[in-house]
Every structure is written in structure tokens, then in C-alpha cells.
């Protein structure tokens, strides 16, 4: 079987990365803190790519959603935890705008730990 150097080169140009977030939540909606322990409307992405997975652990269970959310270089990402009727929903926020990429039914009055899995295309 011949080695496809073009496919191997292109595959090497795609990098899977994890972005970590966490926050102690009570019963108020809030941004989850990202790198450096800071929460806000987003961390900039150095390259374009896609968000593939969001997993959130609420100290009792891990809830995950899969999908595809495309982004460009310099787009900003954050996670926002919205308090509803006794539970939280964690939503991906891109450039200050909530997206439909979310994990629901997370416990209140606990610590939330989230991992956003992205695939970036080096330019």
C-alpha cells in the first residue's frame, strides 16, 4: 500500500486541543473561569477550526455534547453557566454570542469543571 504524503501532511496540520474551565456555582448565572482563573467573554483562538465536544463534570456525573461549531482565527470563546429551575446549563459563547452548543441538567451549589475539545487548523 502506497503512503499518501498529501493526506499525512494535511492530517499533521490539524491539532486537537483542550480548553479547560471551572467555577464554583451557587444559584446565579455566571461565566466559568478559563486560563489563569479569569472569567469573561472569551479567550482568542490563534487559528481557525471547529469545536467538537463539550464535557462538564458537576461532582456527581459527567455530561457531554458532541457537534461541530466552526470558528475563525481571533474568534473568542467562553462558557456561560445559566441557572434555571434548580439546575445549570453550560453554553459555549463565541464572540460574546451564546451558541446552541450546550450541556444541560447540571447540579447547582457545586463546582463545575468543563473541557471544550477543539480541532485547529494551523495556517
Between 35 and 106, the more confident residue is 106
Q: Would you call 66 helix, strand, or coil by DSSP?
A: strand
Q: What are phi and psi of 8, to 5 degrees?
A: -65, -40
Tell me the per-residue pLDDT of 6-34, one tens digit each, with 9 for 90 and over: 665 555 566 789 999 999 999 999 999 99
Tell me: the pLDDT tens digits for 52-90?
999 999 999 999 999 999 999 999 999 999 999 899 999
Q: Are 50 and 69 in contact (CB under 8 A)?
A: yes
Q: Tell me the domain boundaries of the chain.
A: 17-121
Q: How many angstroms separate the Cα of 56 from the Cα of each of 38, 45, 76, 103? A: 18, 21, 20, 7
What is the grid cell recorded at 53?
465536544
Contact call for residues 102 and 91 (beta carbons, < 8 A)? yes
pLDDT band with cut points at 50, 70 and 90 for residue 35? confident
Higher pLDDT, 101 or 12: 101
Pick the closest to residue 54 from 121, 123, 119, 116 (CA basis): 116
pLDDT at 121: 81
How confident is the model over 106-122, as pLDDT tens digits?
999 999 999 999 998 86
Amino acid at each position: 500500500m502506497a503512503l499518501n504524503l498529501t493526506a499525512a501532511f494535511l492530517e499533521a496540520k490539524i491539532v486537537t486541543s483542550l480548553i479547560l474551565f471551572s467555577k464554583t456555582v451557587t444559584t446565579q448565572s455566571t461565566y466559568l473561569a478559563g486560563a489563569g482563573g479569569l472569567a469573561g467573554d472569551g479567550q482568542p483562538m490563534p487559528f481557525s477550526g471547529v469545536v467538537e465536544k463539550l464535557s462538564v463534570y458537576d461532582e456527581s456525573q459527567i455530561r457531554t455534547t458532541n457537534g461541530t461549531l466552526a470558528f475563525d482565527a481571533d474568534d473568542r470563546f467562553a462558557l456561560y453557566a445559566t441557572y434555571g429551575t434548580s439546575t445549570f446549563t453550560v453554553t459555549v459563547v463565541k464572540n460574546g454570542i451564546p451558541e446552541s452548543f450546550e450541556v444541560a441538567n447540571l447540579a447547582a451549589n457545586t463546582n463545575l469543571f468543563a473541557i471544550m475539545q477543539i480541532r485547529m487548523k494551523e495556517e
